Amino acid sequence: MRAYRQTVTIDEPQRVVLKPRVLLKKGQRVKLVVLVENEADAELESVRDAVAARGVALDDIQEAIRWARGQS
């Protein structure tokens, strides 16, 4: 079984468009699981993606928090 994961924004409530296109064949049976994010989840995921893209490690974040709290 192949699995694909995408986060999409719904433009039309009755239609979900996957980008990039997933290679499916006409008549192929698939199972879909729809998980609805609340705005806080989406914002947190956006922050996580931005941090990961910059190569910031969890240890770096924890060290910065300790420094900010004066607990170096």
- Model's pTM, two decimal places? 0.41
Determine the pLDDT at residue 66.
Answer: 92
Give 15-49 pLDDT, tens digit per residue: 988 887 788 889 999 998 988 878 787 788 888 88
CB 20 within 8 A of CB 58: no
Task: Give CA angle at 20 (13, 56), nearest 5°.
Answer: 100
Kindly indicate the confidence band of residue 72, based on its pLDDT and cuts at 50, 70 and 90.
low
- Calpha distance 17→51 (Å, rounded): 27
Chain center to CA of 14: 22
Residue spans of the domains in the chain: they are 39-68
